[in-house]
Structure 1
Amino acid sequence: MFMGEMKMKKAMLIANPDSGKERSTEYQQKALEAVKRNGYETSIRLTEKQSDATKYAREACSKEMDLLIVMGGDGTVNEAINGLAEQKHRPILSIIPLGTVNNLARALSIPLQTDAAIELLEKDTFTKEIDIAKTHERYFMSSISIGPIAEAFYGVPSEQKSKLGALAYVLEGAKKLRDDEGFNVEIDANGKVIKKHAFLILVALTNSVGGYIHFNPKAEVDDGKMHIFIFEELSAFNIFSMVGSTLSGNLQNDDHITYLTANRITIRTDQILTANVDGEEGPHTPVKLKLLPSHLEVIVPKP
């Protein structure tokens, strides 16, 4: 390199071509053109199968890319985060949401309108460091849930999610609730052990769960905490009460819920249950969770 020569910044775009439907290619080109105008050398990777986004994100780390743009839904974003987590070099992350729920984008106030999200790449970049969490050898950005109801959620067909959005998860959960008798659980939260009979365990990192951004107003993407909700009673009557508590942003104080926070959690159950990790099938219980504070730097709108 000659004296005074500037090293060109490098950006990679990971895109799920199935997201965005007929405008997918158009959005990809707009994003690439936006970063090129800011002086980036660009490359693009299109996902074709499960874990492709993880593979490409690790490639971006190994090539010491400056910026990684992820275009797709929560599944694609989660895969990319699994590729970035705990790598020696981690590029700044940009999220262009094209999914059904877009939990992390909502929590970060990233515009859900695609052109507006792309415009963030052209403006003076403002970033925020966010927490993620690890369970066994997987990482998650939004939430992990445990219980027969949670297991029903990752069985929601893609067509149903596209048509009904977050309501699809509510309908599947309601079907499961009719036959659910609950389970016994022991939770170790930073050394404090709690034993309960529960119907659902939810551990959230942000205020957005299932696309509802006021689920837990106390949660911040960078607060260094995992927020634990133990749903001890679920019936038709109690659900109405919980919906009211959720709408008022007061779910943690609901009489049928135990709420606590921690940065290290172990969850044991009296029956083998499969965790739902950011909407996808995860590990079986017992499950260990560890917070990785301020682990990723993400482009967000200016406050």
Structure 2
Amino acid sequence: MTDSQKRYLLIVNGKSSGDPMLREAVLAERKAGKEITVRATWEGGDAAEFAEKAVDDGMTHVIAAGGDGTVNEVVNGLMRVAHDRRPALGIVPMGSANDFATSVGLPLEPGPALSAALSFEGAPIDVVRMTAGQGSEADVSYYINMTTGGFGAEITSTTPKMLKRMLGGGAYSLMGALKAWRHQSYRGTLHWQEHEQSESLLLLALGNGRQSGGGQVLAPRARLDDGRLDVLLVKDFSSVWELPTLIGELQNFPAEGRYVRYFTATKLTVTTRADDAPWPLTLDGEARHHERFSVEVVPLALSVLLPEGCTLLSANDHP
């Protein structure tokens, strides 16, 4: 596709629509000959709807300008489009955490980020499909970075927005330290491949990407295009004296440690008993609670505008 054939839809989180640097960047790119249409969100669901309709409006690329939640909503809209018609995704990070953008090496300022999105080539990456519930009432959604469950999700979903803006990613670490003294574990049975494991877990992380919660690396060996989900299980502890062992294992991510287990799978299901609390989950910044959920990799489902040499792509692995 030549540059003259490319048409970009920039979907901006309504809270960022007045950002002067973003406005200047759009005007500059338009003057340089780029065809950019801008849509700003007003309420939940707008970003997904704009993304879904983009191809019918003749758009070849969709750029999400906002935080991880905005990117997630745009991804879900794009996944409603047939694969052979699906526009490529670009990202202008404007949130407090920007975990996906940071991990893949995107610029974090609006001007350079927009310029990069307009110049990068698309790379096919996996998308993860989450199905919550069963049967006709099942809820299906998608994500490209990470789902955290239990303690990690509590931190992300309860960190006040004002604190996020003031401290950026450090807000999540602060909330984590405060909550560690009165943490709650979550019970469930996990099924993957031929395995079944019932556990009381402090944290569950299901990574297509590597980090969540404002820079917390929870899936260090994840690749966006390997057809695998990186799974991190952190078991509950009963005494503060056990924390050094747990923390040490989190620095090494063993395949099967005393408190930490790290492995890959193509699909994983979590079920709870009637008397168990629903799991608090965060999908790329979006909070929810589910009693039963399943995650499954959809291989190479979406083209994303990424920098050349991105370390989360298998083609750039170095021996």
TM surpasses 0.5: yes
- Residue identity opposite 1:216 in structure 2: A
> Does the alignment pair 1:18 with 2:15?
yes
SS at structure 1 position matched to 2:63: strand
In the TM superposition, residue 95 of structure 1 has moved relative to its aligned partner by 0.5
- Residue identity opposite 1:208 in structure 2: Q
Report which stretch shifted further, 276-285 or 234-243: 234-243
Verify the 8 A CA contact 1:107 1:213 in the aligned structure 2: no
Alignment of structure 1 residues 32-111 onto 2, 5 Å: 33-34=28-29, 37=32, 40-88=34-82, 89-111=85-107
Return the alpha-carbon distance in structure 2 between the equivalents of residues 226 and 8 of structure 1.
Answer: 35
- Residue identity opposite 1:285 in structure 2: E
In the TM superposition, residue 51 of structure 1 has moved relative to its aligned partner by 1.8
In the TM superposition, residue 48 of structure 1 has moved relative to its aligned partner by 1.7
In the TM superposition, residue 183 of structure 1 has moved relative to its aligned partner by 3.3
Match of 2:297 in 1: 291
% same residue? 27
Verify the 8 A CA contact 1:61 1:84 in the aligned structure 2: no
Q: Which runs of 5+ in 2 are unaligned?
A: 132-139, 310-319
Q: TM-score, normalised by structure 2?
A: 0.81
Verify the 8 A CA contact 1:64 1:90 in the aligned structure 2: no
What CA RMSD, in Å, does the superposition of the two structures yield over aligned residues? 2.6
Which residue among 125, 130, 141 is the counterpart of 2:125?
Answer: 130
Match of 1:173 in 2: 176
Structure 1 pair 121/274, CA: closer, same or farther in 2 (3 Å)? closer
Return the alpha-carbon distance in structure 2 between the equivalents of residues 241 and 107 of structure 1.
Answer: 27
Return the alpha-carbon distance in structure 1 between the equivalents of residues 300 and 173 of structure 2.
Answer: 31
> Does the alignment pair 1:279 with 2:275?
no
Return the alpha-carbon distance in structure 2 between the equivalents of residues 242 and 12 of structure 1.
Answer: 45
Verify the 8 A CA contact 2:122 2:306 in the aligned structure 1: yes
Verify the 8 A CA contact 1:216 1:252 in the aligned structure 2: no
Verify the 8 A CA contact 1:53 1:83 in the aligned structure 2: yes
Structure 1 pair 116/43, CA: closer, same or farther in 2 (3 Å)? closer
Structure 1 pair 252/112, CA: closer, same or farther in 2 (3 Å)? farther
- Residue identity opposite 2:304 in structure 1: V
> Does the alignment pair 1:118 with 2:114?
yes
Verify the 8 A CA contact 2:25 2:110 in the aligned structure 1: no
Instruction: State how many pairs are aligned.
Output: 292
Return the alpha-carbon distance in structure 1 between the equivalents of residues 197 and 295 of structure 2.
Answer: 16
SS at structure 2 position matched to 1:48: coil
Q: Which runs of 5+ in 1 are unaligned?
A: 1-5
Return the alpha-carbon distance in structure 2 between the equivalents of residues 118 and 233 of structure 1.
Answer: 43
